[in-house]
Each structure stands twice: as structure tokens, then as C-alpha cells.
Amino acid sequence: MEYLDGVTLKHRIESQPPRLETICDVGVQIADALDAAHSKGIVHRDIKPANIFVTNRGTVKILDFGLAKVNALSAGAGDNTQPTVGSELNLTHPGTAMGTVAYMSPEQARGEPLDARTDLFSFGVVLYEMATGRQPFSGGTSAVIFNQILEHQPPKAATVNPRLPARLEEIIEKTLEKDRDLRCQTAAELRGDLKRLKRDTESGRTATVAGKSPISQGVSTSKKSPWALAAVAVVILAAVFLLGRITAKP
């Protein structure tokens, strides 16, 4: 068995909210791992911070495939695996869905057949939690959380953390679409979005959702520059006038 030295993402989020660079790096690795699983027809069905391990060297591992389902026929999005609710569960627990409630997709909460896109919704919940330090869907009971997932939009991540880049806000919203046909369709697509965000962040081209971007700040400064030039001109003219008075004296 592989020995892993590090902590789960859950403990990492609780101890200290990740920096944007860390969110991008961890996100890319999670998306890459999901792409590898989905390409083999494996749907994890329980993606959450407690099942994501970050080693001391920064390597990300997805753990606990105990609830995973394998579709041997095809691995593409839109190909159904077995229903979340099995017939044996319906005998004693009608409407039970397998997984962790706060991280379930709407189709998972409804007990519908699942495909790879359910993992992408759960991953979106993880991204939201990394970016804000809180879960997008919460409540005192499972019933309340199910209602939040099925009927309500979570607060925008940027309202919780105004320092978030607009691009990350867009990625999170795309993964949390309740209609899976409107959701991010593949882990590879999500990985590409996060890689572009990481590149732009490292090059300093990312603007925050709230607050001014470096470009807007430059525009604001340039608007004030004519007044500054006028003030300098007045000082120069006054100096010339005084110099003229002095030289004109006998």
C-alpha cells in the first residue's frame, strides 16, 4: 500500500484558506485525476475535501473509491452508470442517495442514473469551499441541504471572497449548473480552464471581481494627469514671472 505523508484537503482548508495559486494547482491535479478515472468509465460519486489528500510535496491524490461505479461500455459524459439508489436500498430506505449530502449533484440527490458530470458538480462544490472557506449548500438537516442543492443558487463566491478573480468565479458557476447539459461536460475541459487561470495568475493578468484591475487603475491615473500638468505649468509661469521681475530691477 502506498504511504502518503501529508493532510486531507479538508484539514488544509480548515487550518488556512488556500492561496489562489494553490487553488489552481490543486484544482488542476484533481481535474487530471478525474479525467483519468472517467476515461476508464469510473465515476467516483463521493468527491469531497475529506477524500482528497495533499502530500507534503504538493501532490494530490483522490481517495476512497468505495462508492464508485464502473461503466464498462463507455466512459463519455452522458453515459449512464447504475442508479444511485439500488433496489435493495429501496426496500428499507426509500429515496436514499449514496454519497455525502453537501457535495451531491442535483441528479445524485434525486437518485437518478449518473455519469461523469456528477463528479464535476461535486468538484465545483470543493472549488467553492477552497475559494471561500465555506460550503455553497448547507443546512441543519439533510432535507434542508437537498432543497438547497435542488432549488437554490448558492451565494456568489465573489461576494464571500471579493479578492477572487472573475475567471475563477466563472469556472465555479459552470461546474455548479444544476442542469448537467449546461454544466462543464468533461474533466479535461475543466482542467484546461484551471490551467489558463493559473497561467494568467502567474503572469499578473487576472483582475478581481470586486475592486479595480491594474488596467482600470491606470485609466484613473491618466484622467488626473491633465490637472497635474496644469499645476506644473502654473508653477513654471510663476517662476518665470518672478525671475523677470528680479532681472528687470536696476
* pLDDT tens, residue by residue, 173-182: 999 999 999 9
How many separate helices (H) and strands (E) can be counted in the chain? 10, 5
Note whether 171 and 130 are within 8 A (CB): no
- The confidence score (pLDDT) of residue 240 equals 54
Q: Residue length, the chain?
A: 250
| Tens digits of pLDDT across the chain (250 residues) | 788 899 999 999 988 878 999 999 999 999 999 999 999 999 999 999 999 999 999 999 999 887 888 875 444 444 444 444 333 333 333 444 667 899 999 999 999 999 999 999 999 999 999 999 999 999 999 999 999 999 999 999 999 999 999 999 999 999 999 999 999 999 999 999 999 999 988 877 655 554 444 333 333 334 444 555 556 565 566 665 555 655 555 5
Q: Which of 86, 100, 116 is nearest to 47 (CA)?
A: 100
- The confidence score (pLDDT) of residue 74 equals 43
Cut 0.75: pTM above it:
no
Residue 46 annotated in active site: yes
Distance CA 237, CA 239 (A): 5
Catalytic residue among 5, 25, 35, 46: 46
Cβ neighbours around 155 below 10 Å, total: 12
Q: Which of 215, 10, 237, 5 is nearest to 133 (CA)?
A: 10
3-class SS of residue 10: helix
